[in-house]
Amino acid sequence: MILASTASHQRMLPWGLGAFSCACLLLLSASVLGADWRLSKQLTVKGTYTDNLNLEDPTANDGAQGDFFIQLTPGFVLQANGRRLDLDVAYSLQSLHYLSYDSEDQLNNRLQANANSELYRDHLFLDMKVTARQELINAQGPTSWDATGPSNNLQTTYSYLVAPYFKNRFGRTAELTLRFEQNGVFYSDEGQDSLGYGTQLDLLSGPILGDLQLGLFAENANVDYQDGPSDRFSRAAGGVGYQIDERWRFDVLGGYEDNNYPSLDRTSGSLWESLLTWTPNVRTKVTAGVGQRYYGWTPRFELSYRRKRSVWTASYQRDLTSARGERANSTVYSFEDAFGEPVTPETGSALDVPLDTATVSSSVYVNNTFTSVVTVQTRRSTLGASLGYGLRQYQDVARDDEETLYARVYWSRRLAARTSLNLGLGWRQTDNNNSTDDTAANLQDSYYFNTGLTRQLSERTYCDLQYSFRDDSDNGAENRITLGLRISWE
């Protein structure tokens, strides 16, 4: 597939949003009548005092600058569930007004919209997604952990996806899935906007073969960067899976991929992977595997352990992606809790800036990622902990490799019927792996601590008092005190 290059951000963004709007109209016209709609309107007002708004080094010429700023965040959550439609939309507009900082006030858009619709019974479906959030420009640069400070290292990233797909079952013999996708990623300040197109075909054998399953897979994706390269990713493979017994399953996959993107090494070659899955009970699933692609070994590990009041997930993989790919797959608001139960997100809550996002560029890299998340609930408390590691090995000379390690702990407890306490700790370390200067000086550490009280004033009104401390090893430390009021109504 050959892509026509676009001339500017102004041409690309309206075109993509226009496609998304048309798809929305098609989805709604086909499915709106049978859906159950719910609308939650929300408003959050916060006042914050900080003793170091820009995380400046206190020993610098200007020193640390304190300020007081006000956040006004209106938002809404729209959800629809029906036989042929699942829709989740959460949007907020964060308005920041600084009383003494010599700068313009800020407006931050935050959006997560997911839609899945069945357009024609059992055959034609449509997936859609659109997001907007604040993210780091330079992954190795300073961060205040959220988007309230006037940082030069933050910008808003927009993305959308429209993906119709067709399914057909050939009795008990086979099942065919054909998926078409168009997506876009756009930046408010730095970075090359891009459009992507993709096609995927899956053909799986049906239950006629019993415990044996055969599959054929083919996919093609094209990415066109504004004033930049046009990348292509294509592969075809065949696989065999066998359910050994109720607990064990074995899968093997082999094929070839033909890619074209800027790289110092080859971009195409054969691939293979073998996986072993162990499911001892309905609560536990472990998958381990090993494979090889043209850029090296590709081990994989996935763990999921769930009980009534606790859940633990962990994963490791080594795959090919880009900064664009990471942002296209990012999530702003979640409509499920750690246990998979539906929730209505609070649009005015503090929205953390992702710590493991790649520096904005059009480069392709091998991404080594490990994540582990644990959540435990009791009658009055919730404890959560997460650990993550990422190593990005770039395939061209545009950037040095990036390494990130982070850890977080969160604890909340209900002290009384209407009062709760929360605590949070976080740490991040980044390393710019420059082969010509591989010293400890490349390491950058940042920390945060926060604690606060929440008081429920009425059925839909809450008051929050929060203290937080942030420290960046290459910049300065910051203390914050925030008083907020949250209101929601339907």
pLDDT recorded at residue 14: 44
Top pLDDT among 353 and 200 is at: 200
- How high is the pLDDT of residue 103? 65
Domains (range + CATH), the chain: 9-374 (2.40.160.40)
Q: Which band of pLDDT confidence, cut at 50, 70 and 90, is reported for residue 140?
A: confident
- The pTM assigned to this predicted structure is 0.87
Partners of residue 71 on adjacent β-strands: 46, 96
Q: Region 373-397: what's the mean pLDDT?
A: 93
The arithmetic mean of pLDDT across residues 275-285, rounded, is 96
In which band, very low, low, confident or very high, does the pLDDT at 151 lie, cut at 50, 70 and 90? confident
Residue tagged 């067709």 (tokens): 166
Q: Which of 21-30, 316-325, 366-375, 384-393 has the lowest mean pLDDT?
A: 21-30
For residues 413-424, average pLDDT: 96
Of the ranges 53-67, 86-100, 404-418, which one carries the lowest mean pLDDT score?
53-67
* The pLDDT value given to residue 61: 54
78-82, 97-101, 439-443, 465-469: least confidently modelled range: 439-443
Least confident of 7-11, 88-92, 464-468: 7-11
Residue 232 has pLDDT above 80, yes or no: yes
